[in-house]
Structure 1
């Protein structure tokens, strides 16, 4: 058998950040909610950093970092809508799903009075979660501390990483099938 050691480099690359660093964790969250699109993740990360610096909060774990993040990802990788606004929720999730050429089967249309009378935004979020799971995506509900429905999408293979990372960051998330 030939010696293939000349063809493979098994050394790990040296990392240029501390894995326990707050900014590194935030960056990893941006990567999770932008699977396969590191350029968009970087744009959003930079918007988030600028917003925190402009607010005077500083970039550390004590900062109120979630609202600027939700603003940085709005309608691209995440959403925050009024709990009573089913139409806005459907529009936001449709926009996010379109990134991966997915279309949600909501089970009806809000223009249909019978359908609209039977559903509300949390029910629709649960429906979207279930439909996205069929395509290997997960819709996450994020507790923003206010009365809105907020969330983001990621690959369902990253479920454990999402839960672990958000736990480290101190933000509560749960599957969209059980929204806050």
Structure 2
């Protein structure tokens, strides 16, 4: 019998990165919420690091890194709006959608009393989630510790990656159909 031990005697290549690197995970998050636009992701990443440095926050998951992140990505790749400001919520989601040549059909206009009576942000988030899913995008709701609505968009094919990455970053996210 031939000796096949040579075929199974190998060592796994050493990684050229630290698997527990918080900064790398944050970068990957920015790549997910900026699909196809690494230049914008890099600009936001640098802006986020500068904001953390200005606050004296360390680059680690236990630091208060989420508010500076939303400042760095605001109205480009994510949003943070007051809970009762329905117009800003619609505008923010429209801005995110426009980046990908999408337009959300809200089912009406806030100026129309028949549409806006009894309307709330949860309904708007759910509507936006449904309309964006039709175009292979997912609207995410993020628990950023505020009373308002915070969120971002990513490709639907990246849903599992988003959930795994946010778990590693200790960020609670939900589908936009069930916002915080």
Same fold (TM over 0.5): yes
* In structure 2, C-alpha distance between the alignment counterparts of 1:105 and 1:93, rounded to whole Å: 11
SS at match of 1:17: coil
Residue 59 of structure 1 corresponds to which residue in structure 2?
A: 59
Unaligned 5+ segments in structure 2 are: 1-12
Residue 96 of structure 1 corresponds to which residue in structure 2?
A: 96
Aligned residues: 168
CA-to-aligned-CA distance 1:26-74 (integer Å, 9 cap, x gap): 0000000000000000000000000001101121222101000010000
Distance 1:124 1:167, change over 3 A: same
Residue 149 of structure 2 corresponds to which residue in structure 1?
A: 149
* In structure 2, C-alpha distance between the alignment counterparts of 1:31 and 1:139, rounded to whole Å: 15
* In structure 1, C-alpha distance between the alignment counterparts of 2:111 and 2:55, rounded to whole Å: 41
* In structure 2, C-alpha distance between the alignment counterparts of 1:118 and 1:157, rounded to whole Å: 34
The answer to whether 1:175 aligns with 2:175 is yes
Structure 1 length as normaliser, TM-score?
0.90
Distance 1:44 1:15, change over 3 A: farther
TM-superposed deviation, 1:14? 8.3
Residue 18 of structure 1 corresponds to which residue in structure 2?
A: 18
Residue 37 of structure 1 corresponds to which residue in structure 2?
A: 37
Residue 6 of structure 1 corresponds to which residue in structure 2?
A: none
Moved beyond 3 Å, runs of 4+: 13-16
The answer to whether 1:133 aligns with 2:124 is no
TM-superposed deviation, 1:174? 0.4
- The structure with the largest alpha-carbon Rg is 2
Residue 120 of structure 1 corresponds to which residue in structure 2?
A: 120
Structure 2 length as normaliser, TM-score?
0.90
Residue 4 of structure 1 corresponds to which residue in structure 2?
A: none
Distance 1:97 1:113, change over 3 A: same
